[in-house]
Amino acid sequence: MIYAGIIGGAGYTAGELLRLLVFHPEVRIGFVHSESHAGAPVCEVHSGLVGDTDLRFCSDFDLRVIDVLFLCSGHGRSREFLQANEIPENLVVIDLAQDFRDESEGFVYGLPELQRERIRGAKRIANPGCFATAIQLALLPLAAAGRLAGSVAVTAVTGSTGAGVKPGPTTHFSWRSDNLSAYKVFTHQHLEEISRNLSALQGAPVLPAFVPVRGDFARGIFADASLKCALSEEEVLQLYEDYYRDAAFTHVIRRPVDLKQVVNTNKCILTAEVHDGRLAVFSVLDNLLKGASGQAVQNMNLAFGLAEDCGLRLKASAF
């Protein structure tokens, strides 16, 4: 049995992580830490867990009694936590913030479709960003085949949960409902990890022109990547099917994709179309699961030698 601890337990990613771990057949939760809710029942904050757990948030914790630690605090807090605490040598640390996505301090970048074998047995894993996951999965097969030459344009629409649990002007229901808006055009922080990994795989610089868009829904990412391409549509689809043949959660289909196929699952579903020498790749995933907590559990499974889909057999709410 794997004993897990969670730091920063009150946010959306921690709530989804708890939902998965409470029912994971190989995991017991040792503690859920929250500075703001210490002593309160977990289900008072994560109300979807009413009747599923009697855990309470704690202010104190002992890292020696757990096997895996999930860091779910805000960006920058993970590095502070590791500097302030003595980390047991055999403790697996999975960071859901962006602090170590550059693979500094011994962390492995945790995108299984890119480097599954490095994640197996790793002690420190940096979970990818949600946009970064959707966009890289849309482009990895092309980069691996050396087909990302030239400009790549990406537009991706995300749900409001991607902004985190703390309310703000652009997450208020009356503003977000029936509305769309672009933000951080060409400057989004996930571009750094996207460009680094695609460039390394391609063997040449790749910097997508990325436009993120706030959607008027709660969860999910719909990404569209387009570029010039000399391959036929059949050749592209075959390339993608071959690349993801052994992937546990990334699936290529030959029909349009939509968010309802993936919300509430750890799946990423892809499709592609070619028109007059231009390729469009469509990628959909749940930003809180494959884009965050589900992928963290997937990485934990790999690190501990479990089946990759253990505790992650989830069905989409398709209607």
> What are the tens digits of pLDDT across the range 174-202?
788 899 999 999 999 999 999 999 999 99
Using DSSP's 3-state secondary structure scheme, residue 197 falls into helix
Is the CB of residue 125 less than 8 Å from the CB of residue 92? yes
pLDDT given at position 166: 67
Residue range 146-151: mean pLDDT, rounded: 89
pLDDT given at position 318: 78
Tokens read off for 128: 């990818």
Q: What is the pTM assigned to this prediction?
A: 0.96
Strand pairing category for 221-228 and 153-158: antiparallel
Pairwise CA distance, residues 316 & 27, whole Å: 23
Q: Tell the CATH topology of 2-127+291-303.
A: Rossmann fold (3.40.50)
Which residues lie across from 32 on neighbouring strands? 6, 57
Whether the predicted pLDDT of 165 surpasses 70: no
Pairwise CA distance, residues 134 & 126, whole Å: 16
Whether the predicted pLDDT of 169 surpasses 80: no
Percent of the chain residues past pLDDT 90, beyond the cut: 91
pLDDT given at position 174: 77
Give residue-wise pLDDT tens across range 79-135.
999 999 999 999 999 999 999 999 999 999 999 999 999 999 999 999 999 999 999
DSSP letter, residue 219: S
Give the CA radius of gyration of the chain.
Answer: 19
Confidence category of residue 290, pLDDT binned at 50, 70, 90: very high
pLDDT given at position 171: 76
Give residue-wise pLDDT tens across range 31-69.
999 988 999 999 999 999 999 999 999 999 999 999 999
Whether the predicted pLDDT of 26 surpasses 70: yes
Tokens read off for 147: 């087909």
Domain map of the chain by residue range? Answer: 2-127+291-303, 130-285
Active-site annotation, residues: 130
User: 130-285 domain in CATH 3.40.50.300?
Assistant: no
